[in-house]
Amino acid sequence: MKEPAVRSRPRVLPFFALLPFLIIAFGLAWSLMGLYLFATEWAVSTFGEISGSHPLFVLAVYSPAIAAILLVCAYSGIGGVRLYLSRLLLWRTSVFWWLFLLFGIPAIYFAGAFVKGNAMSAPMIAEPLAAMLPVIGFMMILGPVEELGWRGLALPLLQRKFAPVWAGLILGLVWGIWHLPAFFLSGTPQSAWGFTPFLIGSIAVSLILTPLFNRSGGSIALAMLFHFQLNNPLWPDAQPYDTFFFAAAAAVIVFLNREAMFRRGSGVTEVVPPRGEQRQPVHGAGDE
């Protein structure tokens, strides 16, 4: 009698894969930016002035994604990478989260810009859309790619040991600190901002992203869309006031989802999903 086929399961990434992930993500990004901080003349003469679109800056931005893909491949092989990337096809979430993604984030930026007094200078108002399209396209493939690492690998691993609220807080702190070298380089977008408000904002945004990520069953695609909305060049510059609005939104969203956010084991913990199995979303406030 023919034996039934056994469905193979990819090797699970251990929690301690976080350590090499952070070593690669920080090591690559900080080494590249360190060239311009500590060997400025040589770096400029060799690679040119640093900017937000410089290839080395882009490579630094991609370092969390590079780290994640290398680790998934090391533990689960090419088949595991395919399963991991299948999380880019997860788009289902509640109406609440779609409204927040499409309208809530820009509303926060406009509220912060209104306080700052420059809401009407937003590129979506002051610039022709056709002129903004190349910038929009570039931003779609820059910062959002980070999410292959941060939410794609780091958050699920953290949620194995911590309740989602603490996992989100830890990841937000790490995420913010990872950006630190860019604040000391004059050609980068971060050079015009204050680091402390940015760090607080990173933690707040991470706390918002965590229930969205869990509600979607571990969608990397929605995390990338969220990240793009944070960097969308159509929105006005609202630093540092947008931080206060993101912090307020984070407090409300954590409160509304408090049952799941403070319960260990309630979040998505898979980096590489099992073959042929559907991930179950974590329900919370606003799911109806």
Residue 279 lies in a domain: no
| Cβ neighbours, 10 Å, residue 277 | 10
Residue 111 lies in a domain: yes
Residue 6 lies in a domain: no
Looking at residue 208, its pLDDT comes to 98
Looking at residue 129, its pLDDT comes to 86
Residue 214 lies in a domain: yes
Looking at residue 169, its pLDDT comes to 99
pLDDT in tens, the chain (288 residues): 444 444 445 558 999 999 999 999 999 999 999 999 999 999 999 999 999 999 999 999 999 999 999 999 999 999 999 999 999 999 999 999 999 999 999 999 999 999 999 888 888 888 888 889 999 999 999 999 999 999 999 999 999 999 999 999 999 999 999 999 999 998 888 888 899 999 999 999 999 999 999 999 999 999 999 999 999 999 999 989 999 999 999 999 999 999 999 999 999 999 999 876 545 555 555 453
Of 19, 268, 228, the C-alpha closest to 105 is 228
Residue 47 CB contacts under 8 Å (≥ 6 apart), including other chains: 35, 54, 56
Residue 66 lies in a domain: yes
Residue numbers of the domain that contains 24: 15-261
Looking at residue 148, its pLDDT comes to 98
Looking at residue 10, its pLDDT comes to 55
Looking at residue 120, its pLDDT comes to 85
For the chain, how many structural domains are there in total? 1
Residue 276 lies in a domain: no
Residue 30 lies in a domain: yes
Half-sphere exposure of 156 (CA within 13 A, CB side): 29
- CA dist 81 and 70 (Å) reads 9
Q: Provide the token pair at 142.
A: 């820059």
Looking at residue 127, its pLDDT comes to 86
Angle at 198 between CA 192 and CA 203, to 5 degrees: 165
Residue 275 lies in a domain: no
- CA dist 281 and 167 (Å) reads 17
